[in-house]
Chain A
């Protein structure tokens, strides 16, 4: 990599247009996937590949080929190519040379368009920020990570787990997926950065799908993440989770549809964590302040109070665990070769800064190690471990009581307890991500008169979720963690969010649109009593 990099830079820096920055990234990935559905194995594969990405930036740090032109949508995908798995220097160099030429060609053409557009278009204030920040070089060569997965026992487990779901006649489809991933990333650039580091991740996902009698899709999902094979969840833990998902699915099938409601809402820690990730976290990503087609909600709010002063938020990818639980958004260097940093985003209610990649803003010039991407995408500022803390935490039971007091004050019969929220956390498998949409999945009515809590269905948050941040009136004293994959412009990246339970004094909810596709006409084959009767 070093040899080709310096050879390319020597020639291309003197070429017209001149190249001021080149980086080579090789991601050597080994991934084992074992998936089961409805009691049978769906697939069981082991893939290994080396993916090369070459970035050649032409122009200057201030204005280069990556500048967004006009109203055109920027390209989020990043070109690259598979390269040899065998350590054959000659072949690898040939592949790097070829990819460098391809990228230099593309960059040269892009720069011409950028320069033309500069002459004909009005410059926005956002545009006075440069295109690429200058960063210190970093050298760090870590040891190679490897996984050794015996897929056989996992094949039996995913069969067993998905078969367990099929015992319920409510279940239309179930999926259980185990993945083990080892990535060794090698990166060199012409500023002198030279990195080699590895990340390992094991995951088990459970998904169950059902349909309420009115056609509404019901979906429950759970995941387990671990870094060391010995920390894999045991049978008892997984079976308990399956039982819980089944119970929720069957209850949701029968649950009444919610009526429109405005009033107090209590989000459990996990739900609050997802809520903060979606509603606050994404808006704190620096590149959104730069793009004029974005809402730029917080663009000019640095130094202003945006939520109650008992709340502080940081994004800390340097942290591997919190309270003994792993945090999935942990990484040593981001995908632009910048060391990860703990960033205090909100200090006692006041917005401090943004999450930054190497795309600078007028008032934030440098990366803070949050330039991230899925393979095949261009890195942008993304969250790592978003950690929400409160200086006024109270036990959860007390917070619940506080909600009931508010309910009574407002003369309402009940408040809503939100136990799970779907967001940009994507599910691998047959599902589509619903980026930036915040839909409560498990919602209970908590009655003021002491009746038992009642599960309801079809709830949608309306109005601006952001407003609710300022209406947080209390938090619990215990953070809960959500680990997941967040899908956005630069693809799907592993993240964590942690937050205490939060009480919001007023939130507005409406009925969710239901699907017109009714439940299947015939009963599930395994639960078809009519057929059994006929057969005899």
Chain B
């Protein structure tokens, strides 16, 4: 009863108070009554006001920008394996992150990486109390602001020293102006009682006991309620709720020749109540296991160069991996060491589109749009939708490429060589640094082909190329979802990182399509080689079967915005979507398996039942 009353009250006061205002001295007029009762907002405002007017060190400027971010998080995570519960955790936590900048919009203390720096005693980020009370949060914000200000002053002097060592300092501003915004959405209180999640997780994985050749399995349920607060000295006050629920399942085994193999099933939705029932999940999980069993006895693929057809889910993953590094228009931070550049290079973080505005980057039939304002596509929800970005800027639809010509890039408030202002694409996970990232990326095309015509074009291209068979990719790998243990995932990423900059990509379900009779045959051991953004300039055919590929961008270790960033999980990922039809690429290099396979277990598997 209590929760129903709570929801009703929220609904009454919920009309999102929304007002875009010019920057700087703005009267506090539009804050809704819900905001006034929120002790979190009150504590943030009072400490911010005090810091803005009174924080200063002799010889150093006052802060010109202060930003408070706070994340209020309720997470339920349940894991099962072969029908047995492995863990079940419920955790409520709150985190803060304080950014203070000295200088001005042209040259400030940000965008600079150096090895030295201020080492404070508590830091400007950290865990704060979960009571949503006033006093403890002010105490925490007070210390964090003090630390952030001292760090900014130190950083500014290091940065100025570094700039003096350059022959020509960069002309790009450090921070762009943006309209402030006041918007306080209702907070959505978590409710775990509507469904028995432990029971569902058990049921979803129980059927895997019928697959005695599986080595390991895990089915994870994640239910996440997140409320983010943002308050800045420019006058922005923001409270938004974002919920995600997901089922992520992994199954693994070894082929008889020792090759380790895995498969996954995942579903991401915006609300826990929208998750499919256990029978539906079980069906999906068992489908993944069935595919894995087929993969286990599938023949190895030989080296191959020729046409490759990507079915929509595989095309979505492939487009996400190829475009990730090039969509951002922000400039990289100044760095007194080359480590940052090297690190980004290694994980495929170099932009191929920066500085190429107005040139052709895609086929002239293709238009690429990133649209965070789109909530669904043909009735299917899009995971990457949001109204206001993580810097408090209204989200905008951005046409990146029109008829193949590069028009625009995704921008946060960090200017770049091509564009200055934000277009509402600053995103972050768990209060990490924001960066411009895709939300809902639409690949739209004219002159598309229906399934039959595309298949015919594919077969014809194979014949022309003199192949007896060609390859069709149904599903790309996502080791974050496909690894049964976290250790397996980090091993995987470690191995993959070496090849990712040279365009190595991993397919999961690959079929050999025979030219003679159109027969499809599952094969294993393929790696795509030299697959970079330029291959998208020459697309041989595009299907009319546009579909939604929802995924989580992985922000861990700076992976978001790189090719590895599309290997994420609901546990801390950035919700995103790619909406694309089938893509027939003219020429892709595929490498068969050449390594030494591991041996299979010496001891035979024990009975599961």
Interface residues of A (CB under 8 A from B): 3-4, 7-8, 11-12, 15, 36-45, 47-49, 79, 81-86, 88, 90-95, 97-98, 100-101, 104-105, 159, 166, 172-173, 209, 211, 217, 430, 515, 517, 520-522, 524-526, 528, 530-531
Question: Interface residue count for B (Cβ, 8 Å)?
Answer: 61
Q: Are A79 and B603 in contact (CB under 8 A)?
A: no
Question: Is B46 engaged at the interface, CB distance under 8 Å to the other chain?
Answer: yes
In the complex, per-residue mask of B594-609: 1 if CB is within 8 Å of any chain A CB, else 0? 0000110111011111
Decide yes or no: A39 and B603 within 8 Å by CB, A79-B487, A517-B121 being known contacts: no
Q: Across the interface, do A525 and B87 meet the contact criterion of CB distance under 8 Å?
A: no
Q: In the bound complex, do residue B606 and residue A93 qualify as a contact, i.e. CB atoms below 8 Å apart? A: yes
Q: Could you tell me the distance between the alpha carbons of A217 and B599 in the complex, rounded to whole angstroms?
A: 55
A525–B603 CB distance below 8 A = no
Stretch with Cβ within 8 A of A (4 or more), from B139-147, B271-279, B301-309, B414-422: B139-147
Does B495 belong to the interface (CB within 8 Å)?
no
Known: A166-B139, A172-B122, A521-B57. A40 touches B129 (CB 8 A): yes
Whether a CB of chain A sits under 8 angstroms from the CB of B81 is yes
* Cβ contacts under 8 Å, A40 to chain B: 128-131, 133, 135-137
> B residues engaging A (CB < 8 A)?
46-47, 50-51, 54-57, 79, 81-93, 118-122, 126-131, 133, 135-140, 142-143, 146, 149-150, 202, 209, 215-216, 485, 487, 598-599, 601-603, 605-609
Residues of B contacting A36 with CB < 8 Å?
129
CA–CA, A525 to B90, complex, Å? 33
B121 touches A211 (CB 8 A): yes
Given A85-B87, A526-B135, 16 further pairs, Cβ under 8 A: A7-B606, A38-B136, A38-B140, A39-B136, A40-B131, A41-B131, A45-B89, A82-B87, A91-B608, A97-B605, A98-B216, A100-B603, A101-B601, A105-B599, A159-B131, A211-B121
Q: A521 and B50: CB pair below 8 A?
A: no
Cα distance A85–B602 when bound, in Å?
A: 27
Whether the pair A522, B55 counts as a contact (CB closer than 8 A) is: yes
CB-nearest residue of chain A to B121:
A517
Structural contact, B139 and A521, CB atoms closer than 8 A:
no
Contact, CB under 8 Å: B119 / A166: no
List 6 A-B pairs, Cβ < 8 Å: A40-B131, A41-B129, A91-B608, A98-B216, A522-B54, A522-B146
Find out whether the CB atom of B143 lies under 8 angstroms from the CB atom of A37. Answer: no
Residues A517 and B93 in contact, CB atoms below 8 Å apart:
no
Q: Find out whether the CB atom of A38 lies under 8 angstroms from the CB atom of B129.
A: yes
CB distance from B74 to the nearest CB of A (A): 12
A residues within 8 A CB of B606?
3-4, 7, 90, 93-94, 97
Residues of A within 8 A of B120 (CB): 517
Q: A42-B130, A517-B120 are contacts. A88–B84 as well, Cβ < 8 Å?
A: yes
Q: Which of A39, A79, A525 has the most CB of B within 10 A?
A: A525
Contacts A39-B133, A81-B485; A101 near B603 (Cβ below 8 A): yes
Chain A minimum-CB-distance residue to B214: A94
Inter-chain contacts of A173 with B (CB < 8 A): 122, 139, 143
**Are A517 and B119 in contact (CB-based, < 8 A)?**
yes
Cα A85 to Cα B81 with chains together (Å):
10
Say whether B487 contacts A11, CB under 8 Å.
Answer: no
Q: How far apart are B579's CB and chain A's nearest CB, in angstroms?
A: 37
Once bound together, how far apart are the Cα atoms of A91 and B51, in whole Å? Answer: 57
Point out the residue from B84, B128, B131, B135 that lies within 8 Å of A91, measured CB to CB: B84
Which of chain A's residues have a CB closer than 8 A to the CB of B601?
97-98, 101
Residues of B within 8 A of A39 (CB): 129, 133, 135-136, 139
User: Distance in Å from the Cβ of A105 to the closest Cβ of chain B?
Assistant: 7
- B158 vs chain A, min Cβ distance (A): 15
Are A8 and B142 in contact, CB atoms less than 8 angstroms apart? Answer: no
Assess whether A83 is in contact with B89, with CB atoms less than 8 Å apart.
no
Distance (whole angstroms) from the CB of B466 to the closest CB of chain A: 43
> A217: which B residues are within 8 A, CB to CB?
121
In the bound complex, what is the Cα–Cα distance between A11 and B485 (angstroms)? 26
On whether A7 and B603 interact (CB within 8 A), knowing A41-B129, A522-B146, the answer reads yes
| Residue numbers in A under 8 Å from B602 (CB-CB) | 11-12, 15, 101, 104
Compute how far the CA of A86 lies from the CA of B205 in the bound complex, rounded to whole angstroms.
13
A172 in contact with B84 given A97-B605, A517-B119 (CB within 8 Å): no
Known A12-B602, A38-B135, A517-B119; judge A91-B83 contact (CB<8 A): yes
Question: In the bound complex, what is the Cα–Cα distance between A528 and B602 (angstroms)?
Answer: 70
CA distance A105 to B608 in the complex (A): 23
In the bound complex, how far is the Cα of B194 from the Cα of A299, in angstroms?
64
Contacts of A41 in B (CB 8 A): 129-131
Bound-complex Cα distance A93 to B83 (A): 14
Residues of A within 8 A of B143 (CB): 172-173, 520
CA distance in complex: A43, B91 (Å): 8
Question: A43 contacts which chain B residues (CB < 8 A)?
Answer: 91-93, 127, 130
Q: A525 touching B139 by the CB < 8 A rule?
A: yes
B residues in contact with A172, CB < 8 Å: 122, 143
Cβ contacts under 8 Å, A209 to chain B: 121-122
Residues of A within 8 A of B137 (CB): 40
CB-based nearest A residue for B89: A47
Q: Using A39-B133, A43-B93, A45-B91 as known contacts, say yes or no to A84 and B609 having CB atoms under 8 A apart.
A: no
Residues of A within 8 A of B202 (CB): 86
Among A3, A91, A159, contact of B81 (Cβ-Cβ < 8 Å): A91
Chain B contacts of A520 at CB under 8 A?
142-143, 146
Q: Report the bound CA distance from A82 to B128 in whole Å.
A: 29
With a cutoff of 8 Å between Cβ atoms, the chain A residues found around residue B51 in the complex are 522
Per CB-CB distance, the 9 closest pairs between chain A and chain B, nearest first, are A40-B129, A40-B136, A84-B84, A86-B84, A38-B136, A101-B601, A525-B138, A520-B146, A88-B84
CA distance A36 to B129 in the complex (A): 7
**Which A residue's beta carbon lies closest to that of B141?**
A525
Contact B47 A525 (CB under 8 A): yes
In the bound assembly, the distance between CA atoms of A3 and B122 in angstroms comes to 51
Q: How far is the CA of A82 from the CA of B83 in the complex (A)?
A: 15
Highest count of chain A CB atoms <10 Å: which of B50, B120, B128: B50
Q: Are the C-beta atoms of B146 and A91 separated by less than 8 Å?
A: no
Query: Taking the nearest CB of chain B, how far is it from the CB of A180, in angstroms?
Result: 16
Contact indicator B85/A84 (Cβ below 8 Å): yes
In the bound complex, what is the Cα–Cα distance between A90 and B605 (angstroms)? Answer: 10
Instruction: Note all chain A residues with C-beta closer than 8 A to B93.
Output: 43
Could you say which residues of chain A place their CB within 8 Å of the CB of B209?
A: 90
Question: Shortest beta-carbon distance, B197 to chain A, in Å?
Answer: 14
Closest to A47 in B: B89
A101–chain B nearest beta-carbon distance, Å: 4
- Distance in Å from the Cβ of B157 to the closest Cβ of chain A? 14
Please, which residues of chain B bring their CB within 8 A of the CB of A91? Answer: 81-84, 608
**Cβ–Cβ contact A98 & B215, under 8 A:** yes
Q: Are B142 and A524 closer than 8 Å at their CB atoms?
A: yes
Q: Least Cβ distance of B63 to chain A in Å?
A: 11
| CB neighbours of B139 from chain A (8 A) | 38-39, 166, 173, 524-526
Decide: A88 and B83 in contact? CB cutoff 8 A.
yes
Looking at the assembled complex, report how far the CB atom of A111 sits from the nearest CB atom of chain B, in whole angstroms.
Answer: 15
Bound Cα distance from A416 to B107, whole angstroms: 53
Residues of B close to A97: CB separation below 8 A: 601, 603, 605-606
Give the chain B neighbours of A521 by CB distance below 8 A.
Answer: 54-57, 146, 149
State A520–B57 Cα separation when bound (angstroms).
11
> In whole angstroms, what is the CA distance A515 to B120 when docked?
9
Q: How far is the CB of A37 from chain B (nearest CB, A)?
A: 6
Among A3, A40, A83, chain B packs the most CB atoms within 10 A around the CB of A40
> How far, in Å, is B252 (CB) from chain A's closest CB?
9
* Residues on B with beta carbons closer than 8 Å to the beta carbon of A166: 135-136, 139
B136 engages A90 (CB within 8 Å):
no
